[in-house]
Amino acid sequence: LARIALDAMGGDFAPRATVSGALQALAELDPAHSIQLVGRAGDIERELQGLLAGELAQLAGHRARLEVVDAADVVDMAEKPSAAVRGKPNSSMMLGLKLQADGRSDGFVSAGNTGAQMAGSLVILRLHQGLSRPAIPTVFPTAKHPVVVLDSGANVDCSAEELVQFARIGSVYAEDVLRRRNPGVGLLNIGEEPEKGNAVVKEAHQLLERAGVNFMGNVEGRDILKGENDKGSIDVVVCDGFVGNVLLKFYEQVAPMIIGLLQGAGVTPEQLQGALKQLDYANYGGAPLLGVRGVSIICHGKSSPRAIKNGVKAAVQAVESRMSEHIGRRLSEGASGAAA
């Protein structure tokens, strides 16, 4: 029952990759769900016709669940976010977000200009009460279970109180999207002891003890990939967006490097594919901008059709689990808990 607006013009390979990904998502989703392709109607129709007459002909039955929403403008990948929000209200990105604010759509997905998507989401969807900033979670594949790391890039400097906010909204994300019960939250730090770390992290440690989350204490870099620390299972790791972004990009490069090394040693591609497929980021689609009142899924600029497909599926899951509503409720509980 989710209506997902997809920025058909966003990303390095749009609109081919976005239209193709939309059709592939519909083929895998429950028939109750539909997609709004937002962008230049002529370009979108042309791609649709080409794909349905060619490589995706077998998906023609899903065409009826696609609505094309015309948007005259496109936000450029290098455009300044504030300029895009103010100057391009009729862009595929801003119109796609507006559909949700108007109650005509349930979620938004884009592989376009990330800064513009963040700014537009803040202005058009607005933040939940109890938050000073949104956050972007990233799901880190591990040998045990995927672990959510947030913030992974929206905020370069964070206060202790903001790290607590990330713990609250990251917990809801782990419950609604990763289906964890009572998710364990770790604070990323350089040692286990509460007195370790810089001033912000030390203060956050104290605040998290009484923040209404399942706080498991500090986690170190190694604990992320273990999915646990000495106190138990870790589902959510909280850190500022500088550290989170560096870690994310570092980790993205690990699998390609390992694959190169192993192929040099004569390991077969089949063995590799089987072993490492759980480390493939494309499995996890886009990342939601957590904290806004609605669903705004940020995809990588280089998204393939498969990545777009998984981004749409991520939006459906966020809508169906009512994640945004749960975040709003959790934050009001957190605020009252702190006041009590």
State the nearest-atom distance from the C-beta of 119 to a second copy, in Å. 16
Residue 63 or 249: which CB sits closer to a second copy? 249
Tell which one of 41, 50, 87, 142 touches a second copy (CB under 8 A).
142
Part of the chain binding a second copy (CB under 8 A), chosen from 85-93, 119-127, 190-198, 296-304: 190-198
Smallest distance, a second copy to C-beta of residue 258, A: 5
Among residues 96 and 227, whose Cβ is nearest to a second copy?
Answer: 227
- Closest separation in Å from C-beta 146 to a second copy: 13
Helical residues (DSSP H) of the chain, grouped into ranges: 16-28, 41-53, 81-87, 92-101, 114-124, 160-176, 199-208, 221-226, 241-264, 269-276, 305-320, 323-339
For position 199 contacting a second copy by CB under 8 A, the verdict is yes
60: contact with a second copy by CB under 8 A: no
195 lines the binding site for a second copy (CB under 8 A): no
The encoded tokens of residue 166 equal 């990330």
User: Around 335, how many Cα atoms within 13 Å sit in the side-chain half-sphere?
Assistant: 11
**One of 17, 52, 71, 224 touching a second copy (CB under 8 A):** 224
Nearer to a second copy, 212 or 241 (CB): 241
* CA dist., res. 283 & res. 43, Å (int): 28
Q: Which two tokens stand for residue 223?
A: 């604990």
Question: Which residue stretch of 7-15, 102-110, 206-214, 244-252 sits at the interface with a second copy (rule: CB under 8 A)?
Answer: 244-252
| Nearer CB in complex with a second copy: 102/250 | 250
Binders in 259-318 for a second copy, by CB under 8 A: 260-262, 264-267, 271-272, 274-276, 278-279
From the list 29-37, 83-91, 236-244, 285-293, the region that binds a second copy by CB under 8 A is 236-244
Angle in degrees, 0-180, between the axes of helices 160-176 and 199-208, rounded to the nearest 10: 50
Interior/surface letters 19-52, b for 16+ CB within 10 angstroms, e for the rest? bbbbbbbbeebeeebbbbbbbbeebbeebbeebb
Q: What are the tokens at 176?
A: 């609604």
Asked if 1 interacts with a second copy (CB under 8 A), we say no
Collect all residues with Cβ–Cβ distance below 8 Å to 310 and sequence separation of at least 6: 25, 282, 283, 284, 285, 286
Residues 78-117 that bind a second copy (CB under 8 A): none
By CB under 8 A, tell whether 153 contacts a second copy: yes
CA distance 119 to 134: 10
Under 8 Å between Cβ of 92 and 73: yes
The yes or no reply on residue 248 touching a second copy (CB under 8 A) is yes
Cα–Cα separations (whole angstroms), residue 111 to 11, 12, 56, 69, 172: 5, 8, 21, 17, 24
Residues 6+ apart with CB under 8 A from 273: none
Q: Which is nearer to a second copy, 178 or 272 (CB)?
A: 272
- Of 96, 120, 197, 217, the one binding a second copy by CB under 8 A: 197
Per CB under 8 A, does 173 bind a second copy? no
What sign for the dihedral angle of Cα 159, 160, 166, 168?
A: negative
User: Which residue lies nearer to a second copy by CB, 24 or 189?
Assistant: 189
304 Cβ neighbours under 8 A, 6+ residues apart: 13, 17, 21, 282
Applying CB under 8 A, the residues found at the interface with a second copy are 142-143, 153, 156-157, 188, 190, 197-199, 201, 220-222, 224-226, 239, 241-243, 245-254, 257-258, 260-262, 264-267, 271-272, 274-276, 278-279
